[in-house]
Amino acid sequence: MKGMLTVFNMLPGAPLDGGRVLRATLWRHYGDRRRAEVAAARAGQLIGAGIIGLGAAERLLWRFLCGLWLMLIGWFLISAADAERRFTTPSSAPDGVRVADAMTADPLVAHRWITVQDFIDRAAPRSQQDAFPVVNVDGGLVGVVVTDLLARIPPVDRVEFWLDGWRSPFRRPTWPRPRTRLGRC
């Protein structure tokens, strides 16, 4: 059984390990990584279609239910190969645009230890930014805070919450705890 799984996994089509080998070989041959990735993904789609065909033939000719499993495996391979192809194919990014052209050169940063109200009163009005990098005491980046999210906080709560609770380290923040005042435990 392990031998069959090994042979199946080495079929030359993405997302299988054999597809990785095929991609590396084509990359070396073409000298173009994207072209090799797209070709390996298409090979994976062809293998998936072949497995679906084999499963359909097994189901129709011999009336075995195992053919349904083969068709399901083939469908999975086609879907996974298509996802890899879409992942490697660039979206409509404009040619010749650098990151430096699309970002603020010297962005205003937000400190994680100030309150939301302090940030809204002092920092946000001085900038045209919609998002602010949030930094530690040592200046290390810990997340991003978006002004649209801060605007939704009720004004009475803005004084009680640290900005740190509203930063997003690439996930939606949860409702933060109120900041503790000195003298409280």
CATH number reported for the structural domain that contains residue 135 in this entry:
3.10.580.10
Q: Residue 173 pLDDT > 50, yes or no?
A: no
User: Mean per-residue pLDDT for 23-28?
Assistant: 94
What total number of domains does the chain contain? 2
Q: Residue 44 pLDDT > 90, yes or no?
A: yes
What pTM value is reported for the model? 0.51
Q: Residue 60 pLDDT > 50, yes or no?
A: yes
Burial (Cβ within 10 Å: 0-12, 13-18, ≥19) of residue 160:
middle
Minimum mean pLDDT among 73-77, 90-94, 147-151: which range?
Answer: 90-94
72 and 49 fall within a common domain: yes
User: What's 90's DSSP letter?
Assistant: -
16 and 37 fall within a common domain: yes
Intra-chain end-to-end CA distance of the chain, in Å: 62
Residue 174 domain flag: no
Residue where a domain stops, chosen among 25, 57, 88? 88
Q: Residue 80 pLDDT > 80, yes or no?
A: yes
Structural domain boundaries, residue 37: 8-88
φ/ψ bin of 35: left (φ > 0), alpha (ψ from -120 to 50), beta (otherwise): alpha
Angle in degrees, CA 83, 73, 47, rounded to 5: 70
Q: Residue 50 pLDDT > 70, yes or no?
A: yes
Residue 143 domain flag: yes
Residue 150 domain flag: yes
157 and 114 fall within a common domain: yes
Burial (Cβ within 10 Å: 0-12, 13-18, ≥19) of residue 26:
buried
